[in-house]
Structure 1
Amino acid sequence: MNLSPLLQELISALRALPGVGPKSAQRMALHLLERDRRGALSLSVALEQAVENIGECRRCRNLSEREICAVCEDGTRDASVICVLESPVDLMAVEQTGGFNGVYFVLKGHLSPIDGIGPEELGLEQLFARVDQGNVSELILATNPTVEGEATAHYIAEQLQQSSVNITRIAHGVPVGGELEFVDGGTLAHAFAGRRSLKRSADV
């Protein structure tokens, strides 16, 4: 099919979105051009602003246009309880439950030696430094219950076995192989309530 070069470029750009194939990208492009040009312009401006101005929080690595994000700056939250997550979308899922009043640390991925993703890429030294400061009472490992997520949680727990911080792992309610962004709020809240410790007892 001979398409306008600009239309083809738009379709190709839309395919950068997760789960969007050629047909879906084509439908989106045609919809924006035929029925919602004002929405298309608004989308382009918002996307440009976001790309240029959103970075990451210096403390928790969540997406933020400020050096310290709103969650980390919130004095009403319990900064001694840190929830470790794989991605900002997981943080949004937890926040929507309204059942967690601690703070977060976003890994932006999981350990994957094949893909060249190790502890440095996940900012684990920064996380361990926060624990070493002595102001953390509990570290909740809420990585996804996938093979990679479990391996990442296990690695973090092993590295902190000698620390005094209580290390827990969300367990109940989240299906193995599932991802947090697709779990409903009630199930996720139950998973947090039923988290378990990953630290070995002293008499083992």
Structure 2
Amino acid sequence: MYPASLAKLMDELSRLPGIGPKSAQRIALFMVKRGPGDAQRLAEALLAAATNTKRCRECFSLSEDELCSVCANPSRDRTVICVVEEPRDVLAFERGLSFRGLYHVLGGAISPMDGVGPEQLHLTELLNRLRDSSVNEVILATSSTIEGEATATYIAKLVAPAGVGVSRLATGVPVGGDLDYVDEVTLSRALDGRYRL
């Protein structure tokens, strides 16, 4: 029904999260209508992002440098580390402008059903950071899903022998929700009302 190149574009777009066949069709037709100049800019931006973006060697968030902007910032509070599942969770906190500490991105949550165990997460690196620094609090900011709660409980037990205080985000973050969808005010209140484990 569509030319092969357009059908291929729709197929590739539909593989993106949150983009179904209808959305892929609309985006592809929009790009074709806009012409090769817009398509070229989009292609260059995609290639540049895929080529230049890497993980921060300290916290595993996204960066174009060895250290992300948070880890490289000397004014951040280095006594507190907020542990999150994904880089998008760091962005959620940074939008709120209420957290001034550091982050540690796990790269997911413990989910046996999906084949993700503790060994697939950046937990060894977290323990190394706690040994090699003056951190006195770890805030567990995993999602309020079953996997996020299990991950938080596991980390709390793992970190306890290090003698570092462990806290969890307070209520205000909806149960079963991802941090990426929480508004800044709710996230700020949850951070302020976190509780000790």
TM category (shorter chain) comes to: over 0.9
Alignment length, in residue pairs?
197
Give CA deviations for 1:44-86 in whole Å, capped at 9, x if unaligned.
Answer: 1010011111110010000111111111010000111100011
> Which residue of the partner structure matches residue 46 of structure 2?
47
> Which residue of the partner structure matches residue 76 of structure 2?
77
> Which residue of the partner structure matches residue 120 of structure 2?
121
Give CA deviations for 1:141-168 in whole Å, capped at 9, x if unaligned.
Answer: 0000110000000000011222211100
Q: Following the alignment from structure 2 to structure 1, what is the Cα–Cα distance between the partners of residues 25 and 74?
A: 46
TM-align CA RMSD? 1.1
Q: SS at the partner of 2:25?
A: helix
Q: SS at the partner of 1:178?
A: coil
Cα deviation for residue 36 of structure 1 reads 5.2
**How many percent identity over aligned positions?**
48
Q: Following the alignment from structure 1 to structure 2, what is the Cα–Cα distance between the partners of residues 11 and 43?
A: 15
Give CA deviations for 1:76-122 in whole Å, capped at 9, x if unaligned.
Answer: 00111100011111110100000000010011210012222122221
Moved over 6 A (4+): none
Contact 1:119–1:125 (Cα < 8 Å) also in 2 = no
Q: SS at the partner of 1:145?
A: coil
Tell me the amino acid that sits aligned with residue 114 of structure 1. M
TM-score (norm 1): 0.93
Gaps of at least 5 residues in structure 1 are 199-204
Q: Which moved more, 1:116-125 or 1:33-42?
A: 33-42
Cα deviation for residue 40 of structure 1 reads 2.2
Alignment of 1:27-176 (within 5 A): 27-35=26-34, 37-176=36-175
Q: Following the alignment from structure 1 to structure 2, what is the Cα–Cα distance between the partners of residues 77 and 134?
A: 14
Contact 1:82–1:140 (Cα < 8 Å) also in 2 = yes
Q: Following the alignment from structure 1 to structure 2, what is the Cα–Cα distance between the partners of residues 76 and 161?
A: 27
